[in-house]
A and B are shown apart, each in its own frame.
Chain A
Amino acid sequence: MLDYSRKDLISDIRAWYTTAFSGNWVVPAFVAVWVVLVILPLVVMVVHSFFEMKNYQVVYDPSFKTWDTLIETGRWTAVTRTLRIVFTVTLIELLVAFPFALWLAKVCQSKATKAVIITLLTIPFFLDPSSRTIIWRAILGNTGIINTVLLELGIISEPIEWMLFSEFAVHFGMLTPYFPTMVFPIFLVVNLIDDDFLEASRDLGASPVHTLWYIILPLALPGIVAGIVFTLVPLMAAWVEPDMLGGGFVNMLGPSVEAAIRNLKYPMAAALSVVVILMLAFLLVMLIVVMRKQGSMGNIFHAMKR
Chain B
Amino acid sequence: MSQSRDLVSPSRRDVLKGAAATAAVTVAASSALVGSGQSVKAASNVVRGYGVTTSQLKDWSIMEKAIGIKMEFTGTNADIGTFMRDVISNDLGETHDIFIFDGGTEDILGPQGYYSEVIEDHPELSLWARTSDDWKRTDLQQDGSGKQFGVPVIGNADSFGYFPASIGANPNGLDDISWSKMYEDEETKGRVAMDRSWLLSSPEVANYLKHHGRAKIEDVANMTGEEARVVADFAAERKRAGQFRTLHAAFEEQVQLLSTHEIDIINCWEPATKEANNILGPNTVMYAFTVEGYYKWGHGAYVHSKALKRDNVDNIYKVLNYYLSGEYRAYQATQRGYAGPNMDLGVKYAEDNGWPEAQVEELKWTEKKVGKKFEKPFFGKPAAPNADVMEEEWQRFLNA
- The reply to whether B260 and A262 form a contact with Cβ atoms under 8 Å apart is no
Binds B, one of A68-76, A171-179, A182-190: A68-76
Interface size class of B (residues with CB under 8 A): 20 to 34
User: Counting CB contacts under 8 A, is A227 at the interface?
Assistant: no
User: Counting CB contacts under 8 A, is B219 at the interface?
Assistant: no
User: Counting CB contacts under 8 A, is A24 at the interface?
Assistant: no
Q: State which of B84, B85, B246, B388 has its C-beta within 8 Å of the C-beta of A165.
A: B246
CA of A248 to CA of B256 in the docked complex: distance in angstroms? 16
- Which residue on B lies nearest to A141, using beta carbons? B262
User: Counting CB contacts under 8 A, is A63 at the interface?
Assistant: no
User: Counting CB contacts under 8 A, is A243 at the interface?
Assistant: yes
User: Counting CB contacts under 8 A, is B399 at the interface?
Assistant: yes
- The reply to whether A73 and B399 form a contact with Cβ atoms under 8 Å apart is yes
Contacts of B180 on A, CB cut-off 8 Å?
none
- The reply to whether B81 and A73 form a contact with Cβ atoms under 8 Å apart is no
Binds B, one of A14-22, A36-44, A51-59, A230-238: A51-59
User: Counting CB contacts under 8 A, is B82 at the interface?
Assistant: yes
- The reply to whether A165 and B79 form a contact with Cβ atoms under 8 Å apart is no
User: Counting CB contacts under 8 A, is A251 at the interface?
Assistant: yes
User: Counting CB contacts under 8 A, is A142 at the interface?
Assistant: yes
- The reply to whether B84 and A248 form a contact with Cβ atoms under 8 Å apart is no
CB distance from A79 to the nearest CB of B (A): 10
CA of A215 to CA of B391 in the docked complex: distance in angstroms? 55
Q: With A165-B246, A247-B245, A247-B246 in contact, do A74 and B262 touch (Cβ < 8 Å)? A: no
CA of A137 to CA of B262 in the docked complex: distance in angstroms? 10
CA of A85 to CA of B82 in the docked complex: distance in angstroms? 29
Contacts of B383 on A, CB cut-off 8 Å?
55-56
User: Counting CB contacts under 8 A, is A207 at the interface?
Assistant: no
User: Counting CB contacts under 8 A, is B314 at the interface?
Assistant: no
Q: State which of A53, A73, A243 has its C-beta within 8 Å of the C-beta of B395.
A: A73
The digit string for B221-253, where 1 denotes a CB below 8 A from any CB of A, is: 000000000000000000100001111110000
Contacts of B88 on A, CB cut-off 8 Å?
56-57
CA of A78 to CA of B81 in the docked complex: distance in angstroms? 21
User: Counting CB contacts under 8 A, is B108 at the interface?
Assistant: yes
Contacts of A75 on B, CB cut-off 8 Å?
395, 399
CB distance from B318 to the nearest CB of A (A): 31
Q: State which of B82, B245, B388 has its C-beta within 8 Å of the C-beta of A54.
A: B388
User: Counting CB contacts under 8 A, is B396 at the interface?
Assistant: yes
- The reply to whether B256 and A137 form a contact with Cβ atoms under 8 Å apart is yes
The digit string for A111-147, where 1 denotes a CB below 8 A from any CB of B, is: 0000000000000000000000000011001110000
- The reply to whether A56 and B249 form a contact with Cβ atoms under 8 Å apart is no
- The reply to whether B396 and A161 form a contact with Cβ atoms under 8 Å apart is no
User: Counting CB contacts under 8 A, is B398 at the interface?
Assistant: yes
- The reply to whether A247 and B247 form a contact with Cβ atoms under 8 Å apart is yes
Contacts of A141 on B, CB cut-off 8 Å?
260, 262
- The reply to whether A143 and B260 form a contact with Cβ atoms under 8 Å apart is yes
CB distance from B79 to the nearest CB of A (A): 6
User: Counting CB contacts under 8 A, is B392 at the interface?
Assistant: yes
User: Counting CB contacts under 8 A, is A264 at the interface?
Assistant: yes
CA of A56 to CA of B399 in the docked complex: distance in angstroms? 22
User: Counting CB contacts under 8 A, is A249 at the interface?
Assistant: yes
- The reply to whether A249 and B388 form a contact with Cβ atoms under 8 Å apart is no
CA of A138 to CA of B387 in the docked complex: distance in angstroms? 36
User: Counting CB contacts under 8 A, is B348 at the interface?
Assistant: no
User: Counting CB contacts under 8 A, is A294 at the interface?
Assistant: no
- The reply to whether A251 and B245 form a contact with Cβ atoms under 8 Å apart is no
CA of A262 to CA of B396 in the docked complex: distance in angstroms? 18
- The reply to whether B84 and A73 form a contact with Cβ atoms under 8 Å apart is no
- Which residue on A lies nearest to B85, using beta carbons? A264
CA of A264 to CA of B244 in the docked complex: distance in angstroms? 27
CB distance from B336 to the nearest CB of A (A): 24
Contacts of A243 on B, CB cut-off 8 Å?
249
- The reply to whether A55 and B108 form a contact with Cβ atoms under 8 Å apart is yes
Contacts of B398 on A, CB cut-off 8 Å?
74, 248, 251
Contacts of A57 on B, CB cut-off 8 Å?
88
- The reply to whether A74 and B247 form a contact with Cβ atoms under 8 Å apart is no
Interface residues of A in 66-112 (CB under 8 A from B): 69, 72-75, 77-78
The digit string for B10-54, where 1 denotes a CB below 8 A from any CB of A, is: 000000000000000000000000000000000000000000000
User: Counting CB contacts under 8 A, is B367 at the interface?
Assistant: no
- The reply to whether B399 and A264 form a contact with Cβ atoms under 8 Å apart is no
Contacts of B260 on A, CB cut-off 8 Å?
138, 141, 143
User: Counting CB contacts under 8 A, is B400 at the interface?
Assistant: yes
- The reply to whether A248 and B247 form a contact with Cβ atoms under 8 Å apart is yes
The digit string for B368-396, where 1 denotes a CB below 8 A from any CB of A, is: 00000000000000010101100111011
- The reply to whether A74 and B396 form a contact with Cβ atoms under 8 Å apart is yes
The digit string for B96-124, where 1 denotes a CB below 8 A from any CB of A, is: 00000000000010000000000000000
CA of A286 to CA of B261 in the docked complex: distance in angstroms? 48
CA of A57 to CA of B399 in the docked complex: distance in angstroms? 25
CA of A58 to CA of B169 in the docked complex: distance in angstroms? 48
Contacts of B84 on A, CB cut-off 8 Å?
56, 264
- The reply to whether A74 and B395 form a contact with Cβ atoms under 8 Å apart is yes
CA of A137 to CA of B81 in the docked complex: distance in angstroms? 28
- The reply to whether A249 and B395 form a contact with Cβ atoms under 8 Å apart is no
The digit string for A258-296, where 1 denotes a CB below 8 A from any CB of B, is: 000111110000000000000000000000000000000
Instruction: List 6 additional contacts besides A141-B260, A263-B80; criterion CB under 8 Å.
Output: A55-B108, A69-B392, A73-B399, A138-B260, A161-B190, A248-B249
What 6 A-B pairs are tightest by C-beta distance, nearest first?
Answer: A248-B247, A74-B399, A247-B246, A73-B395, A264-B81, A263-B81
List 25 A-B pairs, Cβ < 8 Å: A55-B108, A55-B383, A55-B387, A55-B388, A56-B80, A72-B392, A72-B396, A73-B392, A74-B398, A75-B395, A78-B399, A165-B245, A165-B246, A247-B245, A247-B247, A248-B196, A248-B244, A248-B246, A248-B398, A249-B247, A261-B81, A262-B79, A263-B81, A263-B391, A265-B81
A residues with a Cβ closer than 8 A to B are 53-57, 69, 72-75, 77-78, 137-138, 141-143, 161, 165, 243, 247-249, 251, 261-265
B residues with a Cβ closer than 8 A to A are 79-82, 84-85, 88, 108, 190, 196, 239, 244-249, 256, 260-262, 383, 385, 387-388, 391-393, 395-396, 398-400
